[in-house]
């Protein structure tokens, strides 16, 4: 049996200790990796808010730069796992958010309805001047009776639930900051049947049949363009259609009808002209003839 003897150091002797590698393993954390990771977590909101997509791109760039710098530092900085996680989360946020928006855009339109841009297909066309009168653009006349799907903002009136009708405007500046919308920038929505709508402050999607108000009187907030609404819901996506609505067939039918009406009016005009220009037969009445003179006695 062996015994160990503890020997006390001599008084006043200087002791030296050689540290092991494990005792000094601390390396400063890369602040860029920390920032990238924090932004990547925030960018996950892209899955619900499409406008956060740029944040996912920024966090991805910062995360990649952090990975490159940590590797080039040859062990001087820590945070590789954090930076790698930021890369993964940023890619997930961007791909997931973009993919969801594409899916929502492709599936949000009701069957049988055609996607229309409020700004490009209605507001920008608006009214035209014809023979001194302002009339709806021919494309809007041809669109009457068409089932359309468009997006806009509900003009606040104070009522929140169970709306049977409301005013739809093309952008939030006109609905949320007290501005009165222009005639071509608003659409009167009248819910049909048992369908009702609840006020929503964000962008909404509306489906219905497009109409023109033939009894327009010019009242305040009176809509010239109307919609027989069947569905109102918060927009699943915030993107407008890439291409304008195709009204080729409707426009051709409308132009043919207008030509037919113009031809009928011209024929009626030509028929009425001869009767108005032919003078009446100038026959002298017998009463106006000079009587024969009596012979003098």
Q: What is the pLDDT of residues 65-114, one digit of tens each?
A: 999 999 998 888 888 999 999 999 999 999 999 999 889 999 999 999 99
Q: What is the pLDDT of residues 217-228, one digit of tens each?
A: 988 889 999 999
Q: What average pLDDT does the chain have?
A: 83
Predicted pLDDT of residue 133: 84
Angle at 44 between CA 41 and CA 49, to 5 degrees: 140
Please check whether residue 250 is in contact with residue 121, taking contact to mean a CB–CB distance below 8 angstroms: no
How far is it, in rounded angstroms, from Cα 134 to Cα 285? 54
Predicted pLDDT of residue 273: 73
Please list the residues that pair with 128 across neighbouring strands: 135
Q: Is the pLDDT of residue 189 over 60?
A: yes
Helix axes 31-43, 53-72, angle to 10 degrees: 160
**104-112 — which CB contacts under 8 Å span 24+ positions?**
104/236, 104/237, 105/236, 105/237, 105/239, 107/236, 108/149, 108/205, 108/235, 108/236, 108/237, 109/149, 109/207, 110/149, 110/207, 110/230, 110/231, 112/147
Please check whether residue 119 is in contact with residue 170, taking contact to mean a CB–CB distance below 8 angstroms: yes
Task: Count Cβ atoms within 10 A of the Cβ of residue 59 and give its class: 0-12 exposed, 13-18 middle, 19 or more buried.
Answer: buried
Please list the residues that pair with 114 across neighbouring strands: 148
| pTM strictly above 0.75 | no
Predicted pLDDT of residue 149: 97
Consecutive H or E run containing 264: helix 248-277
How far is it, in rounded angstroms, from Cα 219 to Cα 201? 25
Provide the pLDDT confidence category of residue 192 given band limits of 50, 70 and 90: very high
Length of the chain: 297
Predicted pLDDT of residue 276: 59
Q: What is the pLDDT of residues 256-265, one digit of tens each?
A: 777 877 777 7
Task: Count Cβ atoms within 10 A of the Cβ of residue 154 and give its class: 0-12 exposed, 13-18 middle, 19 or more buried.
Answer: buried
> Rounded to a whole number, what is the distance in angstroms from the first to the last CA of the chain?
199
Other C-beta atoms closer than 10 Å to the C-beta of 124 total: 13
How far is it, in rounded angstroms, from Cα 60 to Cα 53? 11
Provide the pLDDT confidence category of residue 183 given band limits of 50, 70 and 90: very high
Please check whether residue 134 is in contact with residue 172, taking contact to mean a CB–CB distance below 8 angstroms: no
Q: Can you tell me the mean pLDDT for 51-61?
A: 93
3-state SS, residue 244? coil
DSSP string, 69-97: HHHHTTTS-B-HHHHHHHHHHHHHHHHHH
Q: Can you tell me the mean pLDDT for 279-296?
A: 50
């Amino acid at each position: 049996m062996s015994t160990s003897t503890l020997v006390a150091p001599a008084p006043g002797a200087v002791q030296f200790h050689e540290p092991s590698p494990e005792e000094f393993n601390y390396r400063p954390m890369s602040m860029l990796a920390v920032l990238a990771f924090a932004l990547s977590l925030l960018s996950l909101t892209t899955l619900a808010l499409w406008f956060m997509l740029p944040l996912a791109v920024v966090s991805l760039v910062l995360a990649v730069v952090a990975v490159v710098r940590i590797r080039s530092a040859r062990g001087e900085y820590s945070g590789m796992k954090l930076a790698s996680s930021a890369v993964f989360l940023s890619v997930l946020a961007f791909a997931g958010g973009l993919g969801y928006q594409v899916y929502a855009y492709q599936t949000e339109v009701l069957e049988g309805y055609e996607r229309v841009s409020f700004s490009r297909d209605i507001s920008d066309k608006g009214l035209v001047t014809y023979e001194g009168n302002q009339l709806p653009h021919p494309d809007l006349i041809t669109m009457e009776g068409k089932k359309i799907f468009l997006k806009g903002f509900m003009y606040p009136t104070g009522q929140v639930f169970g709306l049977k009708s409301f005013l739809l405007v093309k952008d939030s500046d006109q609905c949320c900051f007290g501005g009165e919308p222009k005639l071509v920038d608003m659409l009167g929505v009248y819910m049909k049947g048992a369908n009702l709508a609840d006020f929503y402050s964000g962008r909404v999607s509306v489906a219905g049949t497009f109409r023109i108000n033939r009894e327009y009187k010019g009242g305040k907030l009176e809509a010239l363009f109307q919609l027989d609404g069947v569905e109102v819901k918060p927009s699943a996506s915030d993107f407008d259609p890439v291409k304008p609505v195709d009204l080729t067939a409707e426009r051709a039918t409308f132009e043919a009808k207008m030509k037919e009406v113009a031809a009928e009016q011209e024929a009626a005009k030509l028929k009425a002209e001869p009767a108005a220009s032919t003078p009446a037969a100038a026959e002298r009445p017998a009463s106006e003839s000079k009587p024969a003179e009596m012979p003098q006695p």
